[in-house]
Structure 1
Amino acid sequence: MYQIFSDGGSRGNPGPSAYAIVVTKDDKVIFKGSEYLGINTNNYAEYRGLIAGLTKAIELKAENVDFIMDSQLVIKQMNGEYKVKAENIKNLYLDAKALSSMIPNIRFRNVRRTEMLIPMADALLNIELDNHQ
């Protein structure tokens, strides 16, 4: 079982933005990554983190993935509980759905920022933003 922890954010909304992901397998960190995204919204950054995590899972040929984020909006949209209304997010959502369909067993969960490895992803995100100021 792979677990992917993702966080995205912006300083200002919109503002300088980035995402970070942490991938674990059998409770061991096997990958950490982040990317600066320029001036964007928080939700844009959250979705880019989701897409990066899904892409990594596909690279790893992961068949069982537990995807964990602190973004309730993104998780509820991916689980079909909320509709995607923002025009600038629709294509990202469609990309994420297409990528997630390539993973046989995937679950999307929302947790508080302080739970599990979300703080590690949050720290990577902030380092990425600090490096671009």
Structure 2
Amino acid sequence: MALSEFSLQYVPQKAVKGQALADFLAQHPSSYGFGGNDVEIGLVETRDNYWMMYFDGSGTSASIGVGIVIQSPDQHCWYFSLKIDFDCTNNQAEYEALVISLNVLHDLRVARVLILGDSELVINQLNGTFRCMSCTLTPYHTIAKYLAESFDDITFKHISHIRNTDVDELAQITSGA
């Protein structure tokens, strides 16, 4: 009901590779007799560990880009660089990067995550230090808070621009800055 005022469109999720692997293993039990019925899949073993996610948005007059870096507890990193094909402010681009990354983490079934960003406004709005008063940012803030509730433990932390250079470069390359 809280989101009914926004024009959101439901898009069914496409097959998730991890789920396809789980379905395959469930339908084709091992003939090697490993003993027990437990199957360990790397994505599921992250329940007791923190994942880390860095995000940034960058805008020019011609283009908007976002950069995302997701780091697993065993230090594997995934880099995402996306171009936004509609006009938005730099703060909206920051929220776009955050919402996209929260969706990716949710699809990976991550339970505990540390979110790191150099946007003081976005991080402090999500921590509750700042109130979200902008009518252009309120829909993003609402969606980000909703997605954050799906994690067992989530922490938002502001970091300096210097500590966020990887995702900053990804966002700037995509935006053409």
> Per-residue displacement from partner, 1:91-114 (whole Å, max 9, x unpaired)?
111000000000110000000011
What is the match of residue 5 of structure 1?
Answer: 54
- Output the CA distance in 1 between the equivalents of 2:94 and 2:74: 23
Deviation at 1:83, TM superposition (A): 0.8
8 Å CA contact 2:65–2:173 kept in 1: the answer is no
The residue identity in structure 2 corresponding to 1:71 is S
Identity value in percent: 25
The CA RMSD measured in Å over matched residues stands at: 1.5
8 Å CA contact 1:16–1:40 kept in 2: the answer is no
TM-score, normalised with respect to structure 2: 0.68
- Output the CA distance in 1 between the equivalents of 2:138 and 2:98: 14
What is the match of residue 19 of structure 1?
Answer: 66
Quick check: 1:110 aligned with 2:168?
no
Deviation at 1:16, TM superposition (A): 2.4
- Which of these two proteins has the greater Rg computed from alpha carbons? 2
The residue identity in structure 2 corresponding to 1:88 is T
The residue identity in structure 1 corresponding to 2:51 is Y
- Output the CA distance in 2 between the equivalents of 1:84 and 1:67: 18
Extract structure 1 runs of 4+ deviating beyond 3 A. none
Whose strand fraction is larger, Structure 1's or Structure 2's? 1
Structure 1 residues 108 and 126: alpha-carbon distance in aligned structure 2, compared to 1, 3 A threshold: same
- Output the CA distance in 1 between the equivalents of 2:73 and 2:110: 12
8 Å CA contact 2:58–2:175 kept in 1: the answer is no
> Per-residue displacement from partner, 1:47-102 (whole Å, max 9, x unpaired)?
00110111111011111100000000000000011111111111111000000000
Unaligned runs of 5+ in 2: 1-49
What is the match of residue 167 of structure 2?
Answer: 121
What is the match of residue 107 of structure 2?
Answer: 59
Deviation at 1:27, TM superposition (A): 5.7
What is the match of residue 9 of structure 2?
Answer: none
- Output the CA distance in 2 between the equivalents of 1:93 and 1:49: 12
What is the match of residue 69 of structure 1?
Answer: 117
TM-score, normalised with respect to structure 1: 0.89
